[in-house]
Amino acid sequence: TRNRSIQDSEGAPQQSELPDHLSPGTLEQEQAPTGDGQPAPAAPPSPRVTPAGDRHQSVRRSTRQRQQPERLIKVMTAELADLDIPFELFAMEAMFPNPVEPDDVLAMKASTDPDTMYLHQAMKQPDWKEFQKAMMKEMSDQMDQKVIKLIPKKDLPKGATLLPAVWQMKRKRDIKTGKVKKWKAWLNIDGSRMVKHRDYDLTYAPVASWGIIKLLLALALTLGWHTVQLDYVLAFTQAPVERELYMQIPKGIDLDGADPADYCFKVDDCIFFKGKMIYVLYTDDSIIAGPDKKEIDEAISLMKEKLDLTVEGDLKDFLGVNIEKKDGGFWLTQPHLINQILETLRLKQKNKPINNSNSRDTPMIHSRILQKEADSPEFDNQFNYRSIIGKIAYLEKGTRPELAYACHQCSRFSSAPKKAHGEAIKQIGRYLLGTADKGMFIKPDLRKSFDVYVDADFCGNWNERYGHDPDTARSRHGYVITYAGVPIIHKSQLQTEIALSSTKSEYTGLSYALREAIPLMNLLKEMKRHGIPVLDHPPKVHCRVFEDNSGALEMAKIHKWRPRTKHLCTKLHHFRSYVTRKEITIHPIDTEDQPADILTKPLAVEQFIKHRKWLIGW
């Protein structure tokens, strides 16, 4: 929306409901005295956060003719804070690269997460004063850390690109109680305006997976280690930048009387071992664990010499997961995320207790396999389908692996959901309605070591009504990798190629599972070299034996040439050398006792509850 002012009934200028767009300004370093004896330019004014919504400022409206693209008229003329536009909040230049006016800010409302918003949305919130304080702190921290410097715009290097600034606001809540514990304001450069190899080169940052985090928790319990959670202040800005970047003065910033249009900002320049300590990093959140509390404190002190970080104490809330030490293990729960899902699906009223009278015992109907459902009516858009899938997927990866099959099945139809797919999402919601306070219980069993459970459902998607669709002929495999009886990695996956036999579908699942298990084996070996007493017995791989033959089991253990399976050689036989060296052993398991079965098909209530208890402890 463009800057504009409106007249009140007496004709006095008054700000429009949507705040004025920031006048262009930039950050750069002060000029040094010139070599010819001329005095150096006056020092630039100090940036100061002001209540952007309270400033009395009349902005001249552009007289240039406008011809807005039709597809954006609804968005650009809407009062975004009041209309429920069901899209995520993103700068839209990447999607619509040729706006009529270059200073237009094109955005969609973040209706799926009411705690995340842009500046103009935060200004309309009852806790706007708290966001102002967060903005003040952010600017102060950025300046104190010398992340940004104020420079006159006239001193911009020739050819430098001036990028717009974007405020991101967020309420951070206590995961267990849901109460707001902190207001955050992040000052960002608008990434949609950045060009690769002009403003940046690399876009990849390694982070620890949930499997590694759960492995660390299991190790901490088995070895009786201390754990400390760390949080980095201004984490992204503590790394060197690849290019000199220049940013407009963000909205809400005054320069002690100077004109912001004359200035800009210049931006300046997952697992680790130390002794017997292990350090796991996920962007700006991290965990350090080890046997000696004094050694951990010394390591943190060394880190503080180079990095700005805060010590959060023992594990409590990590990556949106509440971690509670109880009953000799860890309870991992995500109640706030579950409440968000239920409220979005209108299965729970905000700030009201859960009524589970309409709950379900399983996340999917036992007798139904989701298809494209061409005969079903269109999805009615009662909720943002893709957003709900994303939330359920994060819940499933963190603390509710029993949802993996249901979540993956629903996500397959995100591009064109039907009413039947929306009802399947509601089924998951009603299952969560009755289990909202549940999570994953981690309690190691020292009698067990490293185990892999693999199962496959051969051609389980087949439906004669949709026989023309090749996806119905695909098999699905699922696997669970455990350490000391603790599930650390799980997956439910539709196979990319159509298997011609149950043997191939099972063997494909076995191959994919071991692609994840072998790197974990190597990680445990590395831990042992660092003196960490891990359980590193050869992994036992449990795969199903077929009705009248043990094809996959024989192929994995007996390496003879077979005309019907030679095409599997390069793609699926990668783990055979480990079996030969007895670093991996293959074992049969009865179908009724195969816990990975919960990841391959919708199960009846009794079987589902049995495998769920094995998987997450209840």
Q: Is the pLDDT of residue 503 over 70?
A: yes
**Weakest mean pLDDT among 355-359, 483-487, 591-595:** 355-359
State the chain's mean pLDDT as an integer: 76
pLDDT at residue number 73: 36
Confidence of residue 172 (pLDDT cuts 50, 70, 90): confident
CA angle at 115 for the pair 110 and 118, rounded to the nearest 5° = 55
**Length of the chain (residues):** 618
Q: 525-583, pLDDT tens digit by residue?
A: 888 888 888 876 777 777 643 333 355 556 656 554 444 554 454 555 667 778 778 88
- Average pLDDT, stretch 583-608? 90
Q: Is the pLDDT of residue 349 over 90?
A: no
Q: 336-348, pLDDT tens digit by residue?
A: 999 999 999 999 8
**Weakest mean pLDDT among 139-148, 248-257, 293-302, 405-414:** 248-257
Separation CA 456–CA 494 (nearest Å): 10
Separation CA 407–CA 428 (nearest Å): 8
Percent share of the chain, pLDDT over 90: 33
Q: 85-111, pLDDT tens digit by residue?
A: 333 333 333 333 343 333 333 333 334
pLDDT at residue number 604: 94
pLDDT at residue number 551: 55
Q: What are phi and psi of 389, to 5 degrees?
A: -60, -45
Separation CA 441–CA 461 (nearest Å): 32
pLDDT at residue number 249: 81
Most confidently predicted of 3-7, 251-255, 399-403, 411-415: 399-403
Residues 322, 314 contacting (CB under 8 angstroms): no
Q: Is the pLDDT of residue 49 over 70?
A: no
pLDDT at residue number 368: 84
pLDDT at residue number 228: 93
pLDDT at residue number 615: 96
Q: Which of 293, 305, 318 has the alpha carbon at shortest distance from 230?
A: 318
Strands (E), 145-193: 148-152, 162-163, 165-173, 180-189
Residues 334, 322 contacting (CB under 8 angstroms): yes
Q: Please list, in sequence order, all residues whose beta carbon lies within 8 angstroms of the beta carbon of residue 114, skipping any fewer than 6 positions away.
A: none
**Weakest mean pLDDT among 185-189, 253-257, 475-479:** 253-257
Separation CA 12–CA 6 (nearest Å): 8
pLDDT at residue number 237: 61
Residues 535, 483 contacting (CB under 8 angstroms): yes
Q: Which of 409, 271, 282, 397 has the alpha carbon at shortest distance from 332?
A: 397
Residues 227, 315 contacting (CB under 8 angstroms): yes
Q: 11-35, pLDDT tens digit by residue?
A: 333 333 333 333 333 443 333 344 4
Confidence of residue 193 (pLDDT cuts 50, 70, 90): confident
Paired sense of beta strands 245-248 and 162-163, if any: parallel
Residues 427, 466 contacting (CB under 8 angstroms): no
pLDDT at residue number 195: 84
Confidence of residue 80 (pLDDT cuts 50, 70, 90): very low
Q: Is the pLDDT of residue 69 over 50?
A: no
pTM: 0.72
Q: With the C-alpha atoms ordered 253, 257, 261, 265, is the resulting torsion angle positive or negative? A: negative
Q: 223-247, pLDDT tens digit by residue?
A: 999 999 988 776 666 566 667 888 8
pLDDT at residue number 550: 58
For the record, the structure tokens of 63 come out as: 């007289």
Confidence of residue 367 (pLDDT cuts 50, 70, 90): confident
